[in-house]
Amino acid sequence: MLDLQSIRESNSQLREGQPEFVAVMGGATSGIGEATCRELVRNDVALLENVDDVCKRIAAEAGHVNLLFLSANVLRTARTPTSEGIDQMMALQYYSRVRFITNLLPSLQSAGSKGELARVVSVLGAGKEGRIFHNDLLLEQNFSLSNCASQAMCMTSLAFEHLAEENGVVSFLHVSPGVLRRTTITAGFGRVVSAVSRVLMTLAIPFTVSVEESGERHLYFSTKKSYEPTRAQPPLRSFRLDFKGQVCPIPDLLAQYLKDGTQDEVWSHTTDVFTSMGRKYA
């Protein structure tokens, strides 16, 4: 495990880095205006059309992107389709994140081709990848909180492996955040469940991570040379990290999906969804 002091020492040196560092953060904030920002993110970047608009503005204003950090999330116990027909939870955990990546790849490649940091970090659930419903990738028939979360995690790892294979100057990190002490992710469950969750999280403090420590660790993952593309551990070209910074073992199911054509199936499905969504708002 990476000790926190070493991480802080590494992070403190960032001010001495490149002067024109461009980072794009696709997620909510904490503190003043937290609830407003959280709802804005949920309602805006769950729509691929809005992701496209944001990315166009970013590409126009910044010649390159060094870091794309993706963490927008929500939990739902029932399927909640957006106006584009994609479940909101699945959209935030997978589709909108990959759309951000594909839209900003030229800007990331521009940074990487000059020897600068070029990195994508998706905070979701590396190491917890589960079953993929091959005939129902949009989970129109098989939606549950568990199915959605485990499938989104698995699709993320498969998509990142595809992207890493195609883009050698950009590193792709799928990271598990651990269990945070102060989080608003259960807000969509209602007041009772959220209140119970807060009590349980208080009791579990010895086994959880503070938001501040999580931020320090993710900043380290986002900037440290240890996670450059050439340092990925074979057979993978992307990174799957737990909250401690350790590479997650490859589950048998994910290993199977990497070999049996599921990786290509998931990527083909993803691009098909992007194409069909584009027709809706063109």
Bridge-partner residues for 209, per DSSP?
180
Strand segments (E) across 30-187: 67-70, 119-123, 171-175
For residue 235, cis peptide bond before it (omega within 30 degrees of 0) = yes
Residue 183's CB is within 10 A of a number of other CB atoms, namely 17
| Contacts for 76 with CB less than 8 Å, ≥ 6 apart | 87, 88, 89, 145, 148, 188
Q: Look at residue 111 and tell me if it is in a domain.
A: yes
Q: Look at residue 259 and tell me if it is in a domain.
A: yes
Domain count, the chain: 1
Read off the pLDDT of residues 184-243 as tens digits, 9 standing for 90 and up: 554 555 554 445 444 443 443 444 677 778 788 888 999 999 999 999 999 999 999 998
Question: How confident is the model at residue 4, as a pLDDT?
Answer: 65
Percent of all residues in the chain with a pLDDT value above 90, rounded to a whole number: 61
DSSP 3-state of 49: helix
Contact criterion met (CB below 8 Å) for 130 and 154: yes
48 closest CA partner among 4, 102, 7, 10: 102
Q: Look at residue 133 and tell me if it is in a domain.
A: yes
Question: How confident is the model at residue 178, as a pLDDT?
Answer: 78
Question: How far apart are the C-alpha atoms of 3 and 8, rounded to whole Å?
Answer: 9
Q: Look at residue 200 and tell me if it is in a domain.
A: no
Contact criterion met (CB below 8 Å) for 97 and 159: no
Q: Look at residue 172 and tell me if it is in a domain.
A: yes
Which residue segment(s) compose the domain that 112 sits in? 4-10+19-179+210-281
CA dihedral 155, 184, 227, 2 (to 10 degrees): -130
Residue 248's CB is within 10 A of a number of other CB atoms, namely 19
Q: Look at residue 188 and tell me if it is in a domain.
A: no
Q: Look at residue 50 and tell me if it is in a domain.
A: yes
pLDDT in tens, the chain (282 residues): 566 666 667 666 666 666 688 989 887 545 434 454 554 555 588 999 999 999 999 999 988 999 999 998 888 999 999 999 999 999 999 999 999 999 999 999 999 999 999 999 999 999 999 999 999 999 999 999 999 999 999 999 999 999 999 999 999 999 998 775 555 554 555 554 445 444 443 443 444 677 778 788 888 999 999 999 999 999 999 999 998 899 999 999 999 999 999 999 999 999 999 999 866 654
Question: How confident is the model at residue 198, as a pLDDT?
Answer: 47
Residue 198's CB is within 10 A of a number of other CB atoms, namely 13
Bridge-partner residues for 31, per DSSP?
none
17 closest CA partner among 66, 54, 58: 66
CATH code: domain of residue 33:
3.40.50.720
Question: How confident is the model at residue 81, as a pLDDT?
Answer: 95
Contact criterion met (CB below 8 Å) for 143 and 149: no
| Contacts for 83 with CB less than 8 Å, ≥ 6 apart | 47
Q: Look at residue 184 and tell me if it is in a domain.
A: no
